[in-house]
Amino acid sequence: MAGKIVRIGVLGAGFVAEFYLQGLRDVPGQEVSLVYSRGEASAQKFSRRWAIGEGTTDLDRAIARDDIDLYLIALPNFLHKEVALKLARARRNQVCTKPLGRNGEEARAMLYAAEDSAAMHGYAETEVFAPAVVRAHAIISSGALGRVLWVRSRESHFGPHSSWFWEPELAGGGALIDMGCHCIEAARYFFGKELKPVEVMAWCATLFHKTEAEDNTLAVIRFEDGRIAHLEVSWTARGGLDLRNEVHGTDGALFTDVTRGTPLEAFSLRPAGYVVEKADLDQGWVKPVSEEAFTYGYQGEMKHFVECVRDGKTPRETYADGAVVNAVIDAAYRSAQSRRWEPVQL
């Protein structure tokens, strides 16, 4: 497919799909030709906003098109498995947003079906495509930190934007599955994905929101050689999205902070407009994040997946990675219940 325009079908017209289109805006060699949404109004509104040729509510018809080279699953968690299996049966190239499944069983079913299809499958984990995190990985790979011993990651805000997130049966859990997936894959990226996570100790609690889902989680993941990753996720943190990583090695340490350590600060007595994802206020002292789609990794991952389709290459994040992340999350939920270390069932 060298030199060919990669034609894309976006399945979903909500929050994640919006970020995907922002990321794709600066990716050469692609064209978004189709958007599917469960609602007619949202399908048409999204297609008009982004000048997409077709907006539809007919999923089977969307998948049956023979001119789409790559499908992006940007749908709620409870639809990932169903849609991925349909794409696999049609032998379509597919990329799915995080988390891959609501649990390890769903993730494995998606992985096996995608592998059997012989088509490309990519796991859209933005964190490991964020420019700051990619640069951090390059520093680690150069040996500058020596042997990496401990990774600490934090992601927090004051709660998700859609109602289904608050229903554990639909989402697969709460803050842990919503944001812990980023932290887990960041740790695997920094340590090296050949290193297996073997057990998890976790605490989950609902401290503020009126929901059956946990709104806070702390977890420690032990890898097979004894090194650890520590994650903190919260739906009760004020101030907008907070994304941070720390990597500590025998010869150094590094720190990423893409939302609080911004190069732009402002003070205004009047509303300043959009500041950052899930910001509580837009006046007073604010720290706007420039080019969020680029900063968070949406542009990097979209560019990578488009290139993989065009060049016939395997993505560096596949459904196999998503399945590992789901297995770690499953172990964390078991640990929160048992209050013991729980094995990761890969």
Q: Each residue of 327-341: pLDDT tens digit? A: 999 999 999 999 999
Residue 42 pLDDT > 60, yes or no? Answer: yes
Global confidence as pTM = 0.95
pLDDT digits (tens, 9 = 90+) for 58-113: 999 999 999 999 999 999 999 999 999 999 999 999 999 999 999 999 999 999 99
Whether cis (ω within 30° of 0) applies to the bond prior to 99 is: yes
Q: 219 pairs with which residues across the strands?
A: 202, 231
pLDDT at 268: 87
Q: Which CATH number fits domain 6-125+298-317: 3.40.50.300, 3.40.720.10, 3.40.50.720, 1.20.140.10?
A: 3.40.50.720
Taking Cα atoms as reference points, which of 95, 27, 67 lies closest to residue 315? 95
Whether the pLDDT of residue 142 is over 70: the answer is yes
- 100: its two tokens: 């891959």
| E strand residue ranges, the chain | 6-11, 30-36, 54-56, 70-73, 94-97, 121-124, 148-156, 197-205, 216-223, 228-234, 242-249, 252-257, 266-268, 284-286, 342-343
Residue 285 has a pLDDT of: 85
Q: What is the pLDDT of residue 69?
A: 98
Residues 100, 110: Cα–Cα separation, whole Å: 8
Q: 2-33: per-residue pLDDT in tens?
A: 578 999 999 999 999 999 999 999 899 999 99
Q: Enumerate the domain spans of the chain.
A: 6-125+298-317, 128-294+327-343
- Architecture label for domain 128-294+327-343: 2-Layer Sandwich (3.30)
pLDDT of residue 284: 87
Q: How far is CA 150 from the centre of its chain?
A: 22
Examine the pLDDT at 134 and tell me if it is beyond 90.
yes
